[in-house]
């Protein structure tokens, strides 16, 4: 397969998908009406917007912090995606105003950073390891591309091209250039976007320079530390920054998980743009390590709050899980890019898993409360009595409207606003449908403009009806994803059942035929409640199961099940059924069943006693994990004790 590395699929622009299914339509509406205004308000009130006025002076409050620019950039990006979906003159005016401030803050040489320009102007590029300069530049480039694509307005794009050109002069392989790379990756994938929208090869080259330079010895972060007069290593180690090895030699996901995801996403981009097989192979090795060893069942990654990072294989503690919202978003970004190479459904499976679970668990249903960390096992009473003993504040099980390091709220906002991009791709004469969200998908396949209208109650129900609209009959293939979680699927075209097995290719059912307007494909994905186990080396989950139905992982909440969730166990033969509860959380599918638990009354005055004690059956009700912490505070638990087993082998 000599064209192995060739990216075959072309993603569609998010604005070509109009999502109408309730699940995501409501999330997008709240994102537009509540989240985007709220995070703007906080960027504004915390001084992040005014920072671009460059009027801060020592002694004044609200000193521009070195990552503030990135929050404003992600807000602009979110707003741009939202404007592309739905015009909003007031929002556009507001963005234009902010862009005016940003443009005004650009220095004569093209430099643009609200922290360094006013706080330590002599220190530019002196600490790539810790100071997020290139990271901020990357996010602002992404914002510029998004806003240009949404509105056609070039102001910010031109500003960021000038800045990128300046960065390209400072960094590069020539002896008098800096051979550095960012401590927090991000600009690498942003430069690929800038290349794609401008066609300027130099941006692609700069991205590749940053990626290739990373991990070379002697380590740049050590060199620059010595230049600052510091000891070369800080206590984080090179692996914290994914700079322990050249990226092509890396096989395990190490260090800060958001940084890792942004790097890996850029590696996938570069592999596609430059047909670099070694980069793709590295991506695949890292993918295998992440998804087979280091990923929560929710798609959360980066299990330790110390360093917000990956730790070791199978180290996935539930109670102290960090699983940062931004890291799950990063996993979506990476999976999305790998999916485009070959249309391999394993990437779409993880993309979907993360989106429906570990990403949107990070935002409340009203759009204004966020989680930075997304644990899978919470007992709030511990925090309440001794908050200092358990976890850092960012991990307290209370949604917060903002954080000191506030990457997650704006990241959620831009993700939800651009959700359409993940729904479909085109590869030559094949239209791929990755996600079933309800709505209209416009795409060009086999030279024809085609509209696919999805009607579905997904994720509550696995029936999907797709109506094909096109001007004249045309032969092409429709490749419909059969999710990895689905044990049984049926498919029919215009009422006629198809034999699925011969159609299957890498997780997609590929229906090749001459399509005419009004053709109807009916896909039915069986969506039983499944009990998942995890690998025997995941010590925290041994003897436990997680409930999953369709793409949704479920959890128990105290408000439904009483306290001491850990003592609930599921007998192996307990039947689990589903019910659409329209009175809960705006209407969700709950899983109901009978569990068992011990009687507290039997334990009065005892801490330990001989097994077995009496147990009693109790009704249990599980809700989707992504809905947790939207009612009264209490315990939450994903992995539930499974109390029986049969020796089968």
Strand partners, 597: 616
Residue 381 or 494: which CB sits closer to a copy of itself?
381
Site for a copy of itself in 328-347 (CB under 8 A): none
233 binding a copy of itself? (CB under 8 A)? no
What's the min distance (Å) between Cβ of 395 and a copy of itself?
14
* Assigned token pair, 40: 């703007």
Site for a copy of itself contains 618 (CB under 8 A): no
What are residue 309's DSSP bridge partners?
Answer: 256, 304
Q: Is 153 in the site for a copy of itself (CB under 8 A)?
A: no
Our CB check for a copy of itself shows the closer of 267 and 565 to be: 565
Q: Is 454 in the site for a copy of itself (CB under 8 A)?
A: no
DSSP category for residue 604 = T
Where do the H-state alpha helices sit in 248-324? 257-274, 277-293
Helix, coil or strand: residue 351: helix
By CB under 8 A, residue 57 contacts a copy of itself: no
Stretch that binds a copy of itself, among 32-40, 168-176, 383-391, 414-422 (CB under 8 A): 383-391
Q: Which is nearer to a copy of itself, 244 or 411 (CB)?
A: 244
Residue 266 or 545: which CB sits closer to a copy of itself? 545
Q: Which DSSP category does 299 fall into?
A: S
**Residue 506: cis peptide before it, omega within 30 degrees of 0:** no
Specify the residue, 2 or 388, whose C-beta has the smaller distance to a copy of itself: 388
Q: Kindly state whether residue 306 participates in binding a copy of itself, applying the rule CB under 8 A.
A: yes
Only one of the segments 8-16, 149-157, 397-405, 641-649 lies at the binding site for a copy of itself (rule: CB under 8 A); that segment is 641-649
Q: Does residue 567 contact residue 640 with C-beta atoms inside 8 Å? A: no
Q: 613 Cβ partners below 8 Å, 6+ apart?
A: 598, 602, 603
* 63 DSSP 8-state letter: P
Binding a copy of itself (rule: CB under 8 A), the pick from 312, 405, 497, 516 is 312
Interface positions, 520-559, toward a copy of itself (CB under 8 A): 530-540, 542-546
Is position 609 an interface residue for a copy of itself (rule: CB under 8 A)? yes
CB of 437 to a copy of itself, least distance (A): 23
Choice from 381, 405, 512, 516 touching a copy of itself (CB under 8 A): 381
Measured CA to CA, the distance from residue 33 to residue 39 in angstroms comes to: 11
Catalytic-residue membership of 486:
no
Taking the complex as a whole, the smallest distance from the CB of residue 117 to a copy of itself amounts, in Å, to 35
d(CA 403, CA 411): 13
Are 547 and 531 contacting, i.e. CB atoms less than 8 angstroms apart? yes
**Does 580 help bind a copy of itself (rule: CB under 8 A)?**
no
Cα–Cα dist 256/245, whole Å: 15
* CA neighbor of 314 nearest in space, from 259, 253, 366, 361: 253
CA distance 525 to 539: 32
Q: Contact with a copy of itself (CB under 8 A): which of 2, 495, 607, 632? A: 607
Is-catalytic flag, 407?
Answer: yes
Strand partners, 444: 449
Residue 612 touches a copy of itself, criterion: CB under 8 A: yes
Residue 20 engages a copy of itself in binding (rule: CB under 8 A): no
Nearer to a copy of itself, 117 or 244 (CB): 244
Residue 582 or 604 with smaller CB distance to a copy of itself: 604
Q: Is 453 in the site for a copy of itself (CB under 8 A)?
A: no
CA 527, CA 459: separation in Å to the nearest integer? 9
Per-residue DSSP letter, 510:
E
Q: What's the DSSP call for residue 234? A: -
Give the catalytic positions in this structure.
Answer: 308, 407
């Amino acid at each position: 397969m000599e064209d192995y590395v060739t990216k075959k699929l072309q993603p569609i622009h998010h604005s070509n998908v109009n999502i109408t299914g309730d699940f995501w339509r409501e999330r997008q509406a709240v994102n537009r009406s509540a989240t985007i205004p709220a995070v703007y308000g906080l960027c504004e009130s915390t001084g992040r917007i005014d920072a671009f006025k460059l009027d801060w002076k020592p002694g004044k409050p609200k000193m521009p912090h070195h990552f503030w620019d990135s929050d404003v950039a992600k807000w602009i990006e979110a707003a741009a995606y939202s404007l592309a979906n739905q015009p909003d003159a007031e929002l556009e005016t507001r963005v234009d105003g902010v862009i005016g401030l940003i443009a005004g803050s650009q220095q004569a040489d093209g430099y643009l950073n609200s922290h360094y320009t006013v706080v330590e102007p002599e220190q530019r590029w002196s600490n790539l390891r810790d100071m997020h300069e290139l990271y901020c530049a990357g996010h602002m480039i992404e914002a510029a591309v998004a806003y240009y694509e949404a509105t056609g307005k070039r102001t910010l794009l031109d500003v960021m091209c000038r800045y990128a050109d300046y960065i390209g002069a400072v960094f590069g392989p020539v002896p008098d250039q800096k051979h550095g790379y960012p401590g927090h990756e991000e600009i690498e994938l942003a430069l690929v976007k800038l290349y794609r929208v401008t066609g300027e090869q130099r941006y692609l080259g700069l991205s590749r320079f940053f990626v290739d330079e990373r991990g070379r010895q002697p380590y740049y972060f050590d060199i620059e530390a010595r230049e600052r007069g510091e000891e070369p290593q800080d206590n984080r180690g090179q692996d914290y920054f994914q700079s322990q090895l050249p990226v092509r030699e890396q096989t395990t996901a190490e260090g800060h998980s958001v940084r890792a995801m942004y790097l890996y996403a850029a590696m996938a981009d570069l592999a596609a743009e430059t047909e670099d097989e070694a980069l793709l192979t590295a991506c695949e090795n890292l993918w295998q390590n992440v998804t087979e060893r280091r990923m929560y069942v929710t798609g959360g990654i980066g299990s330790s709050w110390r360093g917000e990072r990956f730790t070791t294989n199978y180290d996935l503690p539930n109670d102290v899980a960090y699983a940062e919202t931004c890291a799950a978003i990063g996993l979506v970004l990476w999976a999305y890019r790998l999916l485009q190479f070959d249309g391999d459904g394993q990437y779409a499976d993880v993309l979907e898993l993360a989106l429906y679970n570990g990403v949107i668990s990070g935002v409340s249903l009203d759009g204004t409360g966020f989680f930075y960390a997304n644990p899978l096992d919470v007992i709030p009473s511990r925090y309440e009595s001794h908050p200092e003993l358990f976890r850092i504040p960012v991990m307290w099980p209370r949604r917060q409207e903002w954080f000191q390091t506030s990457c997650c709220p704006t990241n959620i906002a831009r993700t939800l606003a651009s959700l359409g991009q993940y729904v479909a791709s085109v590869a030559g004469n094949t239209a791929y449908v990755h996600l079933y969200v309800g709505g209209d998908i416009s795409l060009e396949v086999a030279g024809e403009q085609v509209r696919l209208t999805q009607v579905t109650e997904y994720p509550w129900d696995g029936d999907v009806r797709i109506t094909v609209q096109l001007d004249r009959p045309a032969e092409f293939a429709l490749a419909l994803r059969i999710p990895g979680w689905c044990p049984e699927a049926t498919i029919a075209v215009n009422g006629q059942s198809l034999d699925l097995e011969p159609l299957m290719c890498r997780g997609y059912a590929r229906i090749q035929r001459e399509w005419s307007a009004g053709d109807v494909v009916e896909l039915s994905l069986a969506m039983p409640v499944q009990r998942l186990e995890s690998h025997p080396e995941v010590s925290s989950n041994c003897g436990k199961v997680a409930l999953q139905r369709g793409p949704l992982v479920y959890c128990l909440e105290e408000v439904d099940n009483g306290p001491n969730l850990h003592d609930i166990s599921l007998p192996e033969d307990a039947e689990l059924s589903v019910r659409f509860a329209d009175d809960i959380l705006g209407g969700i599918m709950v899983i109901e069943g009978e569990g068992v638990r011990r009687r507290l009354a039997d334990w009065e005055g005892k801490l330990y006693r001989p097994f077995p004690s009496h147990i009693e059956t109790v009704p249990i009700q599980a809700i989707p994990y992504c809905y947790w912490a939207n009612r009264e505070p209490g315990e939450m638990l994903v992995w539930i004790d499974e109390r029986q087993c049969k020796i089968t082998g």
